[in-house]
Structure 1
């Protein structure tokens, strides 16, 4: 009798553990089987993780095939695909930002608002497509198919009732991500520096590419900026995934002083972010799934965590000289 009761108790505990599985965790892992099992076990579809991500936006982690299956599964449950996270960011906005036009084609079947604006900038999903082709840094690598994917996404959204596309104004609120990463590095040495103290036209290369206004921080001007505040830096760029991982390890173990920035071009959710990397013990667990410890100045995407595999371009800033003197205006 006791044995029967023990087995029954264990079965009950297993059922409880299964129902407590995280839908968001399963989506992040790209594990549709676990996701499906968890949905069918009666898990709450209103789950939100500690960073503020909801189930809706976590669907972007799935491959196209699994995304379609997840959407069909949730639709049967009366799921609201348009529920946003902070700053009114919806799944459609996120997919538009990454120009995932094939996933968008599926999502548009489920009654989503194609003109929902985010609260921070007032940009619509169609407007978010422009960041895939915006050059934040003179040495930044832009994917060859970026313009094609952006245009495909815009045409699809327009076909489904989107308002017209517009390029964002060249202000820090829209395109200041890279600039504020620089500021984050400088304030380590000069905590009282303000953005206006380092902002100048000479820092940027203003141009137009395929009709899109660009404002890229120039590498040589960036080096001169650091020199003007008594920091002599050597900037190196890496795009090979193995070299990126090795640099994360080497710079962390080096006796020299390094500051690191990365573009998250391989992220399925936020591929056009520039972030500061703040340590992470990469040598203890040297693999591409290792979490990145970052400071992301873009307030729109604080709900996203990045991993080593998400880095498409790594910039290392080797500090060859760091004299604590008053910055030159």
Structure 2
């Protein structure tokens, strides 16, 4: 009898573990029917996937309409929408960062702590990061983002948020682009530090018309590598097909190539810079069954987001032509 009970418990555990993986994936896929079915069958609402992403943060992948339905279902189950995932990221913070006004409006109905900080930063301040992209050729409507950020700030203030204060962007806290390049540089020069890159990089951050703007030119990026004795060529690709072709060309190059991608299509962490450490190809050899690829994200808040190849909107290929080790 005890063995039978033990067997049943093991089978229930296996079933719930299966649901946990597919449960979060159903949010990625914006499949509200499957999501609801998993809840009906006892999916563990406290589960996280292997990357550390919890159910709360995965909700951001739903469309506005399905997000509203998912929140209604979960609220009836006593779901805690404030629970952070590994790394500290919360659902409200990610929605503010991605300027998801409609979802924020929905979420505020469910006992949300609008002043719960992530890495010392208020959700209302996360709107700032979507307004100033750290890049020169950023293909984004800056004015539309600015206006949407202001609209979200007004909504949060109405719901009890502390006042919005600009945070001056710095390489230490927000230099995601330069941190990614530091990772590449350290493949050649392991002695180079973040402070070294910060002092050598030719970039600026300043207030323009009441908002922070951060910028860096690609010629400056070449000079940055040259400062550490590394001569590089830079090529850029936009869009799925061009990005995939560039990766294949880079893999087949006679020189060592490293890849930095921007995740403009990701619903949780758009406009993050990641270093690709496993490279997709046309035959999908390097992509797992869910379309995910290995990506090093130097921002600890977003390091556990499951990035997909389709998230990439831009690719920078750093081709190492020659180098001098220290």
Aligned to 1:9: none
Aligned to 2:177: 178
Q: Distance in 2 between matches of 1:232 and 1:33?
A: 53
Aligned to 1:169: 168
Displacement of 1:253: 2.9
Displacement of 1:86: 3.1
Report if the CA contact (8 A) 2:203-2:216 is conserved: yes
Report if the CA contact (8 A) 2:16-2:43 is conserved: no
Report if the CA contact (8 A) 1:52-1:85 is conserved: yes
> Which sits farther off after the overlay, 94-103 or 290-299?
290-299
Report if the CA contact (8 A) 1:131-1:272 is conserved: no
Query: Which secondary structure does the structure 2 equivalent of 1:275 belong to?
Result: strand
Report if the CA contact (8 A) 1:205-1:218 is conserved: no
Query: Which secondary structure does the structure 2 equivalent of 1:251 belong to?
Result: helix
**TM-score normalised to the size of structure 1?**
0.87
Report if the CA contact (8 A) 1:97-1:131 is conserved: yes
Aligned to 2:207: 208
Report if the CA contact (8 A) 2:201-2:221 is conserved: no
Report if the CA contact (8 A) 1:84-1:90 is conserved: yes
Query: Which secondary structure does the structure 1 equivalent of 2:207 belong to?
Result: strand
Displacement of 1:295: 1.0
Query: Which secondary structure does the structure 2 equivalent of 1:301 belong to?
Result: coil
Query: Which secondary structure does the structure 2 equivalent of 1:246 belong to?
Result: helix
Post-superposition Cα deviations, 1:29-48, rounded to whole Å, max 9, x if no partner, equal 22211111110112221112
Q: Distance in 1 between matches of 2:213 and 2:16?
A: 50
Q: Distance in 2 between matches of 1:302 and 1:226?
A: 25
Q: Distance in 2 between matches of 1:284 and 1:254?
A: 19
Aligned to 2:309: 308
Q: Distance in 2 between matches of 1:186 and 1:19?
A: 40
CA RMSD of the aligned region, Å? 2.4
Name structure 1 gaps, 5 residues minimum: 1-12
2:133 aligned to which of 132, 135, 144: 135
Q: Distance in 2 between matches of 1:48 and 1:215?
A: 34
Name structure 2 gaps, 5 residues minimum: 1-10
Query: Which secondary structure does the structure 2 equivalent of 1:236 belong to?
Result: strand
Displacement of 1:254: 2.9
Output aligned runs, 1:1-329, within 5 Å: 17=15, 20-22=18-20, 23-118=23-118, 120=119, 122-144=120-142, 145-200=144-199, 203-285=202-284, 290-320=291-321, 322-326=322-326
Q: Distance in 1 between matches of 2:17 and 2:316?
A: 43
Report if the CA contact (8 A) 2:16-2:44 is conserved: no
Q: Distance in 2 between matches of 1:246 and 1:60?
A: 30
1:127 and 1:86, CA in 2 relative to 1: closer, same or farther beyond 3 A? same
> Which sits farther off after the overlay, 56-65 or 280-289?
280-289
Report if the CA contact (8 A) 1:280-1:291 is conserved: no
Query: Which secondary structure does the structure 1 equivalent of 2:219 belong to?
Result: helix
Q: Tell me which structure has the larger Cα radius of gyration.
A: 1
1:39 and 1:19, CA in 2 relative to 1: closer, same or farther beyond 3 A? farther
Query: Which secondary structure does the structure 2 equivalent of 1:42 belong to?
Result: coil
Post-superposition Cα deviations, 1:85-129, rounded to whole Å, max 9, x if no partner, equal 2343221111111110110110000010001011x2x11111001
Aligned to 2:7: none
Query: Which secondary structure does the structure 2 equivalent of 1:200 belong to?
Result: helix
Q: Distance in 2 between matches of 1:78 and 1:294?
A: 34
